[in-house]
Amino acid sequence: MNCLEMHNGKGLYNKKIIFENVNFKISKGEIFTILGPNGIGKTTLLKSILSIKSLDGGEVLIGRKNLKTLSYKDISKAMAYVPQVHSFTFPFIVLDVVLMGRSPHINMIDTPQEKDIKIAENALKKMGIYHLRDKKYSYLSGGEVQLVFLARALAQESSILVLDEPTSHLDYGNQIRFLKTINELSENDLSIIMTSHYPDHCFISSDKVAIMQNKTLIDVGTSDEVVNSKNLKIAYDLDIDILELENKHKICYCEGA
């Protein structure tokens, strides 16, 4: 079952075409990673998928519904977003931040109730950061903040998570732990769309990979199909070999790098 698809997606930024002819489909529980160099427009594409920025052509379907026909509230019930950058204004405590994820489920004039607090606390437990519940989120490390936002996205109870370069601010250990968390979430039938800078990560967690270059997705498929020397050459203009380890796991290697 396809839970999200984009047909002929086209996006402009300051009247310049950022991407066009973008097509992909994601099924339930699938992890979809978009690889591509800096500044190629991955974030703009994600924002268009989320409808934060409207598409300048083509359409996004959730289930069978066109995103354009849905309200922000309905969209946020279907998709949750973890941004790459966040500017801290006020030092909210972690629980209050995670509670914000309940927004689409709470009436305009209501405030979070016991039930919402339970859901938020469960999301914290799932992310293994329940001990941060009463800490100020602006004091946390980059990795912890990432988990807080992921917990907020879980509290949103949507079926799709959209993550913008979730591993870019994390140290090596946290990157791997984060990808494992992502794998667990997808086993629980959550679909995940994320952008990444690391081809290697596609071999750890990705059912589907797309390479973004030349204003479109030049290849979409499984990580074995897509993450190859030819595509990586187009994406990064480097000669990268894909090596297979004894346990069949693949890694990328760049000669003389």
Partner 1 sequence: MVFNIRLPRIIGAMVVGAALSVVGATFQAIFKNPLVSPDILGVSSGAGFGAAVAILANAGTYVVQTLAFLFGLVSVLITYSVSKVYNSKGTLILVLSGMAVSSFFGSLISSTKFLADPNNKLPEITFWLMGSLSSINSRVLVPVLLVIIMGSFVLILLRWRLNILAMGDEESQALGLNIDRLRLIFILISTLITASAVSISGVIGWIGLIVPHMTRILTGPDNNILLPASISFGASFLLIMDNIARTTFLVEIPIGILTALIGAPLFLLLLRKGYSDWR
Give me the residues that bind partner 1 (CB under 8 A), please.
47, 50-52, 71-73, 75-77, 79-81, 83, 86-87, 89-93, 96-97, 100-101, 103-104, 106, 108-112, 156, 162
Q: How many CB atoms lie under 10 A from the CB of residue 69?
A: 8
Q: How many CB atoms lie under 10 A from the CB of residue 29?
A: 17
Smallest distance, partner 1 to C-beta of residue 226, A? 27
Closest CA to 46 of 144, 175, 163: 163
- Closer Cβ to partner 1, 100 or 220, answer by number: 100
Q: How many CB atoms lie under 10 A from the CB of residue 113?
A: 10
Smallest distance, partner 1 to C-beta of residue 232, A? 30
- CA distance readout (Å), 62 to 51, 76, 221: 12, 12, 20
Q: Which residue, chain included where needed, has tokens 């800490």?
A: 135
CA separation for the pair 219, 153 (Å, rounded): 29
- Closer Cβ to partner 1, 5 or 157, answer by number: 157
Centroid of chain to Cα 223: 16
- Closer Cβ to partner 1, 35 or 46, answer by number: 46
Smallest distance, partner 1 to C-beta of residue 11, A? 15
CA separation for the pair 227, 248 (Å, rounded): 15
| DSSP secondary structure string for all residues of 56-98 | SEEEEEETTEEGGGS-HHHHHHHEEEE-S-----S--BHHHHH
- The answer to whether the beta carbons of residues 78 and 159 sit under 8 Å apart is yes
Smallest distance, partner 1 to C-beta of residue 206, A? 23
- Closer Cβ to partner 1, 191 or 216, answer by number: 191
Q: Which residues pair with 132 in a beta bridge?
A: none
- Closer Cβ to partner 1, 75 or 211, answer by number: 75
- Closer Cβ to partner 1, 47 or 201, answer by number: 47
- Closer Cβ to partner 1, 192 or 240, answer by number: 192
Q: Which residue, chain included where needed, has tokens 């300048």?
A: 56
Smallest distance, partner 1 to C-beta of residue 92, A? 6
Smallest distance, partner 1 to C-beta of residue 19, A? 18
Smallest distance, partner 1 to C-beta of residue 44, A? 12
